[in-house]
Structure 1
Amino acid sequence: IRAPQIITKLTDAQVDEGSRFEFVARIEGEPEPKITWLKDGIDVKSNIDYRQEFVNGVASLVIEETFIEDTATYTVRAENIGGVAESSARLTVKSLMKTEGTSARSTISSLMEEEKPRFIKTLTNVQIMEGETATLDCVVVGRPEPEVIWFKEERTVKEDERTHLMFTGDHVSLTIEHAVPSDSGLYTVRARNVHGETTAFCQLKVIQKKVPPPAPPKRPRRPLEAPSFQQTLTTTTVEEGDTAKLEVITRGEPLPEVTWTFQEQPIYQSETVKIEEFVSLPVFAYRMGEGL
C-alpha cells in the first residue's frame, strides 16, 4: 500500500475566453487512487463542459471552451486507503470583449502581452504496431516563445536516426520511425519561458508483431525405385501344431504393397494367419493335404 503522491502538480494558468484548456497531474499510489476534481472547493462533475480522465497515472480535467465563469481555483484530489494528496492551481479566463473607450491598438497590445506557456492542443495516447511510425504532437503558445523539452520516463529524449523533434510555429511534435516495443512508455513534453512552465503527458504503446513459426524443413524427395526383395522366402519345416513364421524384406519407393498367396490364392489375416506390417507372415502348421 502506498499513499497517493502527486508527482507533477497543477500550475496557475491564464487563457483567453473561448479557448480550450486542460489541467494535467501525474499521480502515483497503490491501490490506484480515486480522483476528484474541485472548483473553488465544490465537486466538478464530468459533463459536456468538464471532461475528466485518469489513464496510466495521468489525471486530466479538460474544459473544451472556457468562459469568464470558469475563472476559479481548481484542485485535484487523489485518495486511497493509504491517504489523500491534493494539488491546486488558479485558472484565469480573460475576456476578449473590447471595453468602451478602449482603442483597437490598446486591445491588440493587451493581446500581445507576454505570458507563460500553455497548451492549446495537448498530447493524446498513441497505440501502433511494431514497425510503424509514432507521432506525438501538440500545440503550445507562450510569449516569449517557450523552450520545449521531451522526456520518456523522466529521461530526456534526444534526436537520432529514428527519433525526430520538431517545433514549427506553435506546433510541437516527436516522431519515432520504425517503432519497437521498447519505445513504449510515458512521454512528457515541457514548455518553459521566463514566466513559467507547463507540461503534458501521453502514453505510447507499441504492439509487438507476431512472428510466424518457421516452416518445417522439407523432406528431400527420394527417387522412385521398383520393388525388390532384400531377403526372400526360405523353405521352413515345423512340427504339426507349431507356429511357422515366414519372413521377407522388401524395398522400393514408394513403399511396395505386399500380397501373400498360397497355391496361387490370396492369403488374408484370420484366426490362424497373422500378417505384420506386410513384411512377415506367421502361420500355424497344418497337416499335409490340408489348406490354410
Structure 2
Amino acid sequence: MILALSRVCGASASPLKILCTPDEIRLQCFMKYFTEEMKVNWYHKDAKIASSEHMRVGGSEEMAWLKICEPTEKDKGRYTFEIFDGKNNHQRSLDLSGQAFDEAFAEFQQLKAAAFAERNRGKVLGGLPDVVTIMEGKTLNLTCTVFGNPDPDVVWFKNDRDIELSDHFLVKVEQAKYVSMTIKGVTSEDSGKYSIHVKNKYGGEKIDVTVSVYKHGEKIPDVVLPQQAKPKLIPASASSPSQ
C-alpha cells in the first residue's frame, strides 16, 4: 500500500520550491499525498540529511519539506528530495547557491529582522476604552500597561497636540510599564480626542480615546457602549504629530 502510494506521489511530485520565514529557509515539494511512512530522503551535496535542530525534515498532507534553520553560507549547494517506491527513485533537485541562495538569505534576514522588531516594538497591552462619557467635575483616570524592549517612550496628546502637564493634567509612568493619565475636575473644555503614543527604536503604536464631558443635570449623551480601543501602528521612523 505504501509503495503504491509512493509511486503515485513520486510521479506527481512538483519541482522543489523555496519559502522563507523569520526562522528558516524552507524547501518544499508538493504532491498528491504525503505521509512520513513513505520512504523518503533529503540530500545536500549528495550527503543524506538526518533531521536535526539545524536541518528539520518533515511534511504535511500534500507536501514534504526541509527546514534549514538559521541558515549560513555553509548551507549553499544542491539539495535533492527522493521518494523510493520499491522499484524506482523519484527525485527532485534544486541548486541553492549563487543568486538563488543570496535572494533567499536576504529575504530570510529581512523577515527575521521584521519579526524581531514586531516582538520588541512599543505596545499598549490593553486597558483603554475607545469612548469615555463623564460628568463635569468628576475625575477621569485612564490607565493601561505598555511594553517594549528597550523601554518605550510614552507621550499623551489631546487633539494631536502636546498636553501641558499641571495639577489638572497628571501623567504617571511606573516601572516603565504602568501608565496613567488623570484629569482632575473635568470641564466641557476637556472633551476631545486623547491619544497615547508608545514607541521605541523598533516602532510602536498609538491608541485614541474620545472623551465626552456633560454637565450635571444634563441628559447623558447617547453613545455606543465603550469597547477596548484598537491600536494603530507607528513606524520606527515616524515623528510625533506636534512636530
Please state which structure has a larger fraction of its residues in strand.
1
TM norm. shorter chain > 0.5: no
Task: Give the structure with higher Rg (CA).
Answer: 1
Please classify the TM superposition score into its range, dividing by the shorter chain length: 0.3 to 0.5
Please state which structure has a larger fraction of its residues in helix.
2
* TM-score, normalization by structure 1: 0.34
* TM-score, normalization by structure 2: 0.40
